A = this chain, B = another copy of it.
Amino acid sequence: MSKVGIRDVAKLAGVSTGTVSRVLNDHPSVTKELRARVDGIIKELGYMPDPSARSMRSKVSRLIGIVIPDLTNPFFSELVQSAEQAAANHGYNIIVMTSFDHAAKEADRIRQLTSRKVDGIILVPSNDFHTLKLPKGLPIVVVDRLMPGYSGIAADHRNGVRLGVEHLLKLGHRRIGFISGPKHSVPANDRLRGYLDAMEQTGGGTELGASPLIAEAAFDYESGRSAGNYLLARARNERPTAIFASSDQQAIGCMRAAHDLGIPIPAALSVVGFDGIPLASMTTPRLTTVKQPIQEVAAAAVAVLLNKRTAPELDKPILFDCEFLNGETTAPPQPD
């Protein structure tokens, strides 16, 4: 059994290779009967077109690249998995690459993908993305960390955070601390804005004399823990009664900080996270959080890429709504 090619199919079906090719590509101008016959032979022979030859002629690789900062981050791994599903539904496959939030590595990966002739790239930019210039002519859709000046697809972080903070306000909290993301991160700032939106709307302040309620931190566990320590290590009547963290991992770090300070959750401190990763439902107590619509974002990104020839450039970001997930880490505040 040597390799079966398009010519074998053509010969056995008694047609030309051109016709077989047209059948393969769902070209409309093939009669039903012929199509059926050819399809039959194809199945019979177990013929599979050679993607290299195909893409060489047609300039279509049916390959999508996805570049993310860190696959170990559950948020991104879910994004990749969702994208893979969406792509597979359309006969596309995914090449994953990790940038480790390193601009140089990121640029290199994008170059690799370009030379691979992928049909499009889904990019979650590294934090110093601004140094990066995207290759022209290759469809790239920026996801999650939207860049000013670039359009893309993301969750509506700002509104999502507002949802979470409003939940705390409704419970009666007023001294609500906020653990923000890295200063220059776009989504971090969107989330901060959501917090400020909610706080201003109550007429409440976001500072408490010399004791600010906002702590900047990276998105990871350890940073959240430090930030939690910073916000909680003060006199009880100056201490926030609730904390909103910009990521679930931060929130979990913050819970650890509270635990170490002997502050019970949710009795003496309410905590809300952001992201809605599986991890959130594995803590004790279960973390209350705001879930990002990762699947929708991934599916939309793939869709945009697949329609790229027809679809106009995204002129404004596409945003999807977040969802509030009630857990066990919030309760009304204790009286001072």
Contacts and interface: CB of A to CB of B under 8 A. Distances in A.
Contacts of A278: 72, 221
A115 B279 contact: no
Nearest to A54: B52
Contact of A80 (B48, B71, B93, B255): B71
Contact of A284 (B81, B97, B114, B256): B256
A252 B280 CA distance: 12
A37 interface: no
A174 interface: no
A112 interface: yes
Interface in A282-301: 282-284
Interface in A70-113: 70-72, 74, 77-78, 80-81, 84-85, 88, 93-98, 112
A310 B70 CA distance: 33
Contacts of A94: 95-97
Contact of A95 (B95, B114, B117, B282): B95
Oligomeric state, in copies? 2
A214 to B, nearest CB: 23
A53 B114 CA distance: 15
Contacts of A284: 255-256, 259, 284
B72 A84 contact: no
A311 interface: no
A329 interface: no
A51 interface: yes
Given A56-B52, A94-B96, A97-B88, A282 B221 contact: yes
Nearest to A278: B72
Interface string A232-254: 00000000000000000100110
Interface string A43-66: 000001111110110000101000
A27 interface: no
Given A52-B61, A72-B81, 12 more contacts: A48-B114, A49-B115, A50-B56, A51-B117, A52-B52, A71-B84, A77-B77, A93-B112, A95-B95, A95-B96, A96-B96, A256-B282
